[in-house]
Structure 1
Amino acid sequence: MTINSSAANAAGTMQLQHFTALDDAERERMFFRVPEPIGIDAPPELLSVALGATLYIPASRDRLAELILRQRRGGSTSMVIDLEDAIADGDVDAAITNLANALRELSAGRQAAPLLFVRVRRPQQIDELLARIGEGVDSLAGFVLPKFTGVDGDDYLGRIDAAQAHIGRALYAMPIIESTSVLHLETRASALESIRQVLGKHRDKILAVRIGGTDMCGALGIRRDPDLTIYDVHPVAEVIGAIVNVLGRADGTGFTITGPVWEYYNTHDRMFRPLLRNTPFEEIDAVRFRTHLVSRDLDGLLRELVLDRANGLQGKTVIHPSHVNVVNAMSAVPHEEYDDAVAVLGVDDTGGVLASTYRNKMNERRPHRNWAIKTLIRSQAFGVLRPDIGVVDLLTAVVVR
């Protein structure tokens, strides 16, 4: 199964492609199927997965347009410019002006920019930003909507409708599920059902649903340390499971759900913990990777990424550039998974069981069909590794340079 993204590539400059820093020889050595360029007009089920690591940057940063382009050259293909938690209350107005200037500068330039989204504080800020931007700005892909609930959701999404009319093209929304109404057990089911109904009415605008793990931990007075993943924090892990169950269904009613942020970085305590050997890192020739890359914070991030995918999440919010290529490299599809997915889908939906060509599992066509479809979508965005190439090889190539 391949989702056609050729129309997107002809539509304009807003497109992304992963691992472009690798030269042609490295890409040929690494990939059985190379990552495709994917444009803003690609089908949402493909574009949402292709976001990969979405880097958050405060809107108050100096020389913001230059910073965005620099991070794009470093591998960031999707970014959120933050007007919410990253900005002090007294600095919001100046941050909006700074962001509007950066968006105009990027629109006037010739360099390829990443897909840019803006996280606003409240619905009215969508209108305020567009008033500052003015006409002719084509560098904005959409908005990220914090603390999204069924109560304020229509207001947010209605303003995005008006914004689309203002600028003359489509804009996407990415709601963040992080409110206490979803966190608290007694209100969780009704809050998620209310969100599901609002998102269903605006399905054409919803690119992905994001999870605010930090806010949910904060509401419980919890902060996990770098030795723990979000799945070790059981009160929040239960909420993630409920979000995936209600909003991430594979029956045509669901959406892509992205992983919560990993908030640790810049530690120099390098280690390779035994737990990591239970992930895809039991690989040969990993010595250079272990010596030069894996630190305490990245060990935890790598384990959490494995658990994200096991729990139905795609991509991740990141707050440090050093995490971008790690998240994206972990999204590449191993050849074995690709081979199994192709076999499961076959030529028709006739059911039955097939032995894997890798001779280590049974592939059941009907139970594994939705997994196979998602795997082939991911393969378009992040490529398929060659049979003799593992994720450690790709990590080493794109991170340890």
Structure 2
Amino acid sequence: MQHNLVSDPDIFFRAPQSFNRFSDRQFLRYCLGGTLYMPSTRAVMDKIVARQMPDVLSMVMCFEDAIRAEDLGAGEANVIQQLGYLAEQVRTGALSNDDVPLIFLRVRSTEQFHSFAEKLTPELADILTGFVFPKFYSNNALDYLDLLAELNRKFDTPLYGMPILEGRAIAFRETRNAELTALLGILRDYHQYILNIRVGGTDFSSFFGVRRGIGSSIYDILPVRDALADILNFFGRAEEDYIVSAPVWEYFLAYKRDDLEKVMQIDLNRALRTNTAILNDAIDGLLREVALDKANGFTGKTVIHPSHLRYVNAMQAVTREEYEDACQILDTSGGVIKSTKSNKMNEINPHRSWARRISAMADAYGVVEDERKMLALFRAGLEPQMSAAE
């Protein structure tokens, strides 16, 4: 698999690298990009095999909030059937491992995780990339993580965990620091199994009875912004070495192809800063929020519409100026030097962790000359697709 596939290779100054679920974890954790959430009752693997969803490189099949409690049995049966079908396609050579998306299962609870794990076979485990743990608290973390470690040993294949920090103990200020401190201490012992830390912007909003509008961002909701800032303060520290993914964008509206032809001359960076209309309310809101996600240190984003994946992944691409600054910093032992474009100071030691991040993002999403080339990525090979909730 490869992010930001294009028919015109000249879009890139440096093309993204390919990856699959067996790639080295240090690289793979940057590769999730836009992650599509869908109910576990959906049947999509035939579209994956037919390559009808080329932008779906990372997906979560949800046993929790996306389905009703009474549909859990049907969801589990469907997931087992879907994974089995995909495993058979790989076994027979109809599909290669490089064509299998990163597939995660969002479990409903620790109890459901344990019961579902008993239904896993080596063939099914070998198709999975891992599990998503909702409502991840310090008092249930070990139940999730111990079983995850056990499954890695049992099946001898990499199965990763992605905890979602979204509970009341984190949302509310009086308990937040103690809970985040406890979680960080627990997760350190399982660091090798954690691919991403995820955050629950929708759950945080619900605790305060608010919801961001289509033209605003999650960062406009002050109590949610505070919770997200503190999560980054704990898990975004360079020395802790975690990748934190941005909150879900919860609107469906996608694009019309004619719209994309009209925006190729837009100064994207300026448009995002000045709230200039770009495509439509939902895409413009998504792009502005992704720009804020990146500025604050989030990598990738959860979406619920396949057509949004291209926008998220294009926005993860690195500009040539960023890439050359990062290379300069990583190739210099210390001190202060003028940037390659002579427009900023590169202070080697303080900027080194940023440079490592930019280098990893360049590997995963590619290097483009400037923001205008990101606009070219928006339209490259994208066709309208069905919503994950449809």
Q: Tell me if both proteins adopt one fold, taking TM over 0.5 as the criterion.
A: yes
CA distance in 2 between counterparts of 1:267 and 1:339 reads 33
Where in structure 2 are there 5+ consecutive unaligned residues?
A: 261-265, 385-390
What is the deviation of 1:282?
Answer: 5.2
Provide the residue aligned with 2:139 in structure 1. Answer: 151
**278, 293, 305: which one aligns with 1:308:** 293
Matched residue type, 1:184: F
Shift in Å, 1:44: 2.7
- How far did 1:233 drift? 0.7
- Contact 2:34/2:300, CA 8 A, preserved across alignment: yes
User: Is the 1:281–1:392 Cα contact (8 Å) retained in structure 2?
Assistant: no
Distance 1:321 1:70, change over 3 A: farther
Q: Residue type of the partner of 1:358?
A: K
Which residue of 2 is the match for residue 130 of structure 1?
Answer: 117
- Distance in 2 separating the partners of 1:133 and 1:300: 40
Letter in 2 for 1:356: S
SS at match of 2:350: coil
What is the TM-score when the length of structure 2 is the normalising length?
0.88
Runs of 4+ in 1 over 3 A off after TM superposition: 67-73, 267-272, 386-389, 398-401
Shift in CA distance, 127/166, structure 1 to aligned 2, threshold 3 Å = farther
Cα distance change of structure 1 residues 212 and 395 upon mapping to structure 2, 3 Å threshold: same
C-alpha distance in 1 between matches for 2:176 and 2:236:
16
1:248 equivalenced with 2:228 (yes/no): no
- My pick for the range that moved more, 199-208 or 34-43, is 34-43
Which position in structure 2 is the counterpart of 1:45?
26
**CA offsets 1:324-354 (integer angstroms, 9 cap, x no match):** 0100000111111111111122242x222x2
**Which residue of structure 2 aligns with residue 391 of structure 1?**
374
Residue in 1 that maps onto 2:263: none
- The 5 Å alignment of 1:1-400 reads 16-20=1-5, 22-23=6-7, 26-27=8-9, 29-61=10-42, 63-69=43-49, 73-109=53-89, 110-111=94-95, 112-137=99-124, 138-251=126-239, 253-266=240-253, 280=269, 290=278, 294-348=279-333, 350-352=334-336, 354-386=337-369, 390-399=373-382
CA contact (8 A) 2:269 2:371 kept: no
Q: State the Cα distance separating 1:279 from its structure 2 match.
A: 5.5
What CA distance in whole angstroms lies between the structure 2 residues aligned with 1:160 and 1:365?
Answer: 39
Q: CA RMSD in A?
A: 2.5
Does the aligned pair in 1 maintain the 2:30–2:364 contact within 8 Å?
Answer: yes
Residue of structure 1 in register with 2:387 after alignment: none
Count, aligned residues: 367
- CA apart distance, 1:387: 5.8
Could you tell me which runs of 5 or more consecutive residues in structure 1 were left unpaired when the two chains were aligned: 1-15, 284-288
**Counterpart-to-counterpart distance in 1, 2:74 and 2:215:** 38
Code of the residue aligned with 1:212 in structure 2: it is G
- TM-score, length basis structure 1: 0.85
Q: Using a 3 Å threshold, how does the CA distance of structure 1 residues 296 and 155 change in structure 2: closer, same or farther? A: same
The residue type paired with residue 335 of structure 2 is: G
- Gap change, CA 1:278 and 1:323, over 3 Å in 2: same
Quick one: distance in 1 between partners of 2:270 and 2:100?
A: 33
